[in-house]
Amino acid sequence: MTAPTQPPKRPMGRAILRSALSLGLFAIVTAGVVAGTRTLTFDRIADNRQASQYRVLKEVLPEALRDVPIEALLDNAVMLPASEAMGQHQPFRGWRVKRGDNAALLMPVVATGGYNGDIHLLVGVDQDGRVSGVRVTRHQETPGLGDKIERRKSDWITDFNGRSLEDPAPEGWEVTKDGGEFDAFTGATITPRAVVRAVKRSLEYVEAEGDSLFQADQEDQP
Amino acid sequence: MSQFNELVRNGLWANNPALVQLLGLCPLLAVTSSVVNALGLGLATLLVLMGSNMSVSLIRHHVTSNVRLPAFVMIIAAFVTCADLLMQAYTFELHQILGIFIPLIVTNCAILGRADAFASRNPILPSATDGLMMGLGFAGVLVVLGSLRELFGQGTLFADMDLLLGPVAAGWQITVFPNYEFLFLILPPGAFFATGLLIALKNVIDDRLERRRRLRQADQPRESRRVRVTGTIR
């Protein structure tokens, strides 16, 4: 508080002002660089996202619908009612594809109870309530063990193709260790168990919501 | 020229960010489960490190010392964000795998460390060299660790390299031990273990070099005595 030891006020204020100005200038320049890069890469990133989404969507489509073009597929996004069982607490976006007698519903499903957090799946169901395909879109399961649910690591996930709630019967919708019909892989039971249950729940969801999902027409397009 | 030799030696060996400074260990341990992941993160870190070192060196006379750290952090954050966007645009699949570790390059202390300890006090050319060498040193350790863990963890080398280098690299996978898996090395504990081994190996090599140098020095006194003799004769 003693006056003599205090530095003169003026230069102090100027130093602060100078620092603030130079920091502000840096903020503007760096933000500009980031904005520039973003503009340059924006389209490409959007394309990549869409292509990668499309690739997975296509893999879970029924055989007969696999040649549906990308625009037709992505334009057919529909909002589906929320379902706690599928890990979707809000109405969520799915895709409905219809051509001739064939129809399929593609739904993102969150499998809770993975070994290491949620497992995000994409489940395709056809008009007869059969699974047309399942793919894992995001997970954090143990590399080398639980990650065999990925299609590129093993073909375990294709075991669901063509399955329905009658095949196997509901009590068979478990991993072999729990008395069901689906193999678990060595060293990992928790991961396949979570996936099997999530697929079963998606089939139950389609059965419950039933035909409304397939028959609702274009009115709910975004 | 000797300054550059010193920078090369420091970055790659004597002052290696990963093995000696032990900086950036979090991404190091997390992503080195395969060569492609290690190389991807290593290259991204290298580019960010070079870019930030050069920019920091350029502005070193224009930033007062009390705001230098926020300024450096802003520069580093900008470079990392750009690297993140570029990877999303050109190596999308790899970006999906490396995920959070790309944005987290910001927190790699090796980068802020080099900015503050070296680049803020040196001209642009040495700073760029320092960034390049430190980056290469870091990326090198990442790749060695990645190779070790991929080879002894899942029995392959260079699997999925096409994620980073495009379709050309699709056939590069070498399966050394078919149907082999040693989970321990793929999991994080294996990363600690392998890093420890690498550090130990470096120390052993350093010890050997040091002993050899001492031996050579021990030989010298005879010569130097002779030199001194000739000296006293004069």
Residues A17 and A28: their CA atoms lie apart, in Å, by 16
pLDDT band at A1 (very low <50, low <70, confident <90, very high): very low
Domain spans of chain A?
A: 60-214
**Helical residues (DSSP H) of A60-142, grouped into ranges:** 70-75
Comparing A3 with A195, which gets the higher pLDDT?
Answer: A195
Query: Which of B59, B75, B86 is opposite residue A37, by nearest beta carbon?
Result: B86
Please indicate if any CB of chain B lies within 8 Å of the CB of A55.
no
Is B131 domain-assigned? yes
Contact B71 A41 (CB under 8 A): no
If we measure between CA atoms, which residue out of B159, B188, B220, B178 comes closest to residue B32?
B188
pLDDT score for B208: 94
Q: A166: how many CB neighbours lie within 10 A of its CB? A: 11
Pair B186, B33: CB distance under 8 Å: yes
Q: What would the mean pLDDT of B76-87 be, rounded to a whole number?
A: 93
Cα of B61 to nearest chain A Cα, Å: 12
Number of domains in chain B: 1
Cα of A32 to nearest chain B Cα, Å: 9
Is B227 domain-assigned? no
Q: Which residue range(s) make up the domain with B56?
A: 2-210
Is B132 domain-assigned? yes
Residues A196 and A199: their CA atoms lie apart, in Å, by 5
Contact A19 B66 (CB under 8 A): yes
Task: Summarize pLDDT for A153-192 with one digit per residue, the tens.
Answer: 788 999 999 999 988 888 889 988 888 888 887 778 899 9
Q: Which positions in chain A touch B63 (Cβ < 8 Å)?
A: 22, 26
Task: Summarize pLDDT for B222-234 with one digit per residue, the tens.
Answer: 555 545 444 444 3
**Residue B105: C-alpha distances to residues B39, B86, B211 (Å):** 14, 14, 38
pLDDT band at A70 (very low <50, low <70, confident <90, very high): confident
Is B228 domain-assigned? no
Cα of B163 to nearest chain A Cα, Å: 13
pLDDT score for B127: 95
What length does chain A have? 222
Query: Which of B59, B62, B181 is opposite residue A144, by nearest beta carbon?
Result: B181
Cα of A143 to nearest chain B Cα, Å: 7
> CB within 8 A of B120, min separation 6: which ones?
B56, B57, B60, B63, B68, B72
Is B142 domain-assigned? yes
> Which of A55-64, A136-145, B181-190 has the lowest average pLDDT?
A136-145
Instruction: Find which of B73, B82, B86 to mutate to test the A interface (most A CBs within 10 Å of its CB).
Output: B82
Using a cut of 0.90, tell me whether the model's pTM lies above it: no
Give the pair of three-digit tokens for residue A182: 């689906």
pLDDT score for A100: 79
Contact B92 A48 (CB under 8 A): yes
Is B221 domain-assigned? no
Amino acid at B85: L
pLDDT band at A30 (very low <50, low <70, confident <90, very high): very high
> Which of A66-75, A150-159, B109-118, B191-200 has the lowest average pLDDT?
A66-75
Sign of torsion over alpha carbons A104, A184, A109, A56: negative
Task: Summarize pLDDT for B113-136 with one digit per residue, the tens.
Answer: 999 999 999 999 999 999 999 999
What length does chain B have? 234
At residue B137, does pLDDT exceed 90? Answer: yes
Q: What would the mean pLDDT of B182-210 be, rounded to a whole number?
A: 90
Is B153 domain-assigned? yes
Q: What would the mean pLDDT of B11-36 be, rounded to a whole number?
A: 87
Residues B160 and B165: their CA atoms lie apart, in Å, by 9
Is B12 domain-assigned? yes
